[in-house]
Structure 1
């Protein structure tokens, strides 16, 4: 187990788990883990889907929060990041050949690991890019997933030096002309708390930085042009009315109002045309809700408690 999941000083591996590797689409090795609740009767299993550049270790605290509520947690690293296989030999760029590979890996994870080894009913809690994958695949998940939580879903791009339209055009052209494995930026993303835009919590920021400092093999750099091209295409598809009307799984959208990566307006527009969804705004929170300050993070967890059946909350009404 110790060679699969990695502890750091302030981030121990949650107990009562099993971890391993499964074969994803095209033979890519995918790292996964399942964490059991200590409670005698499980209330279900949360399939926890992280964002781009993240890894299982970054969610140990959230996993403990969920298992303490009587839920099992099943999670994995997306291909190309964390402890899963890299897709460009010798490069740290975040890359994907096809967005459908993400969807295929999630489907395989549900079929190979979650269904046989976890406890019913199944729920999805997904952040950012993980939320985009869940939203894209949702029409096919109706008979397997009871409810979905989308935290800061990556459905639009903000806070960049160029507009989303310009980035879309450049990423498409780069992919067409064989430059899809290149990134638009050099070096690594900043590890400086003062310049970060994803969390206002310095302690959690330092904890997550330590994960990648002590285990650099888990980290990746900027997204490739191909990753951007594939992701931007899916953003356009999943926010269209035709796609959203096919989703009948009750869905909760958690919208951090101070998010500088995904526009608040985009999340509100999504909720407005998404009949199966309800939106809760968390005022003042930044993009990474599960890595945020306690006052924001507690609101996100309380919203999940009130939404996912079988939690400690007595009232599952979203309006409560």
Structure 2
């Protein structure tokens, strides 16, 4: 359960790593931090696909400075959590309900017993879609949620979702759900390079993410499997129903980037219009990983976060 530290990305002090066991028997890795001063509540941090707790150390530092406790989770199939398939580079699920089980176990075993209320969710990309799925069924314990670049449809860099869904559904029926898509390549992030990357416009933070993979390659995974893509498409299709957005009863702020080509900013705008308790901020010039972006973009993000997430004394 060790979390490695990096010269440009040190582990925040006071970390308590905790194992989590889901209802279907999957072992997950989680971590909790408490601030040095008075605690304003707990931010539950949910990452995107293929990410790790280590990638968010800077964000954890910034939340601790705001006097929030932080509880973070590695989804099943990635980071330091258990892999389902023999090939550890395949972060696979058959259905997004499996991620919902991760959230439930994390909240019941780590957050509710060990972390001070009130509880707020901060989620990125795939994590954002999972939290919306959870929130439509139950409020859990979250007072508010901030979702960054949630996966509500595929962005411009990807093939159309209808094509991906039809192709991956057919291949899954043929028993190929555990395989990588035919055109997928196991190219490492550093091999693709900073120039032309679709994640961030900040070269230093891009290099920091690359360093995690070089130093701790067991934390990384490759492209999504055919089955994962099929599950993601089904989850996105469910979220298109206007009743889905209207059923989310937790006040939610969605932050999107105008230059995001990984997920669809237009789909995010459509979703927010159907929400009863939702609002959106579009940050000009931001790519997909807004919390890993250039400082002017991150300043806008944190200003929106601070205005939306109240502490227990507010």
Q: Scaled by the length of structure 2, what TM-score is found? A: 0.95
Q: Distance in 1 between matches of 2:241 and 2:277?
A: 14
**Paired residues of 1:189 and 1:222 also in contact (CA < 8 A):** no
Aligned length: 310
**Counterpart for residue 291 of structure 1:** 292
Are 2:61 and 1:64 aligned?
yes
**Counterpart for residue 75 of structure 1:** 72
Shift of the 239–166 alpha-carbon distance from structure 1 to 2, 3 Å rule, reads same
Matching of residues 124-273 of structure 1 within 5 Å:
124-160=121-157, 162-184=159-181, 185-191=184-190, 192-273=193-274
Tell me the CA shift for residue 5 of structure 1: 0.8
Tell me the CA shift for residue 225 of structure 1: 0.6
SS in 1 for 2:40: coil
Q: Distance in 1 between matches of 2:140 and 2:8?
A: 39
**Which range is displaced more, 284-293 or 134-143?**
134-143
Q: Distance in 2 between matches of 1:189 and 1:155?
A: 25
**Paired residues of 2:30 and 2:73 also in contact (CA < 8 A):** yes
**Paired residues of 2:158 and 2:262 also in contact (CA < 8 A):** no
**Paired residues of 2:157 and 2:261 also in contact (CA < 8 A):** no
Q: Distance in 2 between matches of 1:236 and 1:25?
A: 26
**Counterpart for residue 35 of structure 2:** 37
Q: Distance in 1 between matches of 2:287 and 2:144?
A: 24
Q: Distance in 1 between matches of 2:233 and 2:4?
A: 32
Q: Distance in 1 between matches of 2:172 and 2:227?
A: 5
Tell me the CA shift for residue 17 of structure 1: 2.0
Q: Distance in 1 between matches of 2:284 and 2:78?
A: 30
**Counterpart for residue 24 of structure 1:** 22
Q: Scaled by the length of structure 1, what TM-score is found? A: 0.94
Shift of the 294–165 alpha-carbon distance from structure 1 to 2, 3 Å rule, reads same
SS in 1 for 2:18: strand
In structure 2, stretches of 5+ residues that fail to align are none
Q: Distance in 2 between matches of 1:214 and 1:131?
A: 28
SS in 2 for 1:27: coil
**Counterpart for residue 317 of structure 1:** none
SS in 1 for 2:195: helix
Q: Distance in 2 between matches of 1:141 and 1:301?
A: 27
Q: Distance in 2 between matches of 1:268 and 1:107?
A: 28
Tell me the CA shift for residue 161 of structure 1: 5.2
Shift of the 254–231 alpha-carbon distance from structure 1 to 2, 3 Å rule, reads same
**Paired residues of 1:44 and 1:72 also in contact (CA < 8 A):** yes
Q: Distance in 2 between matches of 1:152 and 1:307?
A: 17
**Paired residues of 1:69 and 1:311 also in contact (CA < 8 A):** no
Are 2:120 and 1:123 aligned?
yes
Q: Distance in 2 between matches of 1:59 and 1:126?
A: 11
SS in 1 for 2:281: strand
Deviations 1:65-89 (A, max 9, x none): 0111011110110000000011111
Shift of the 38–255 alpha-carbon distance from structure 1 to 2, 3 Å rule, reads same
Tell me the CA shift for residue 176 of structure 1: 1.1
SS in 2 for 1:26: coil
Tell me the CA shift for residue 163 of structure 1: 1.5
**Which range is displaced more, 265-274 or 129-138?**
265-274
Q: Distance in 1 between matches of 2:238 and 2:261?
A: 22
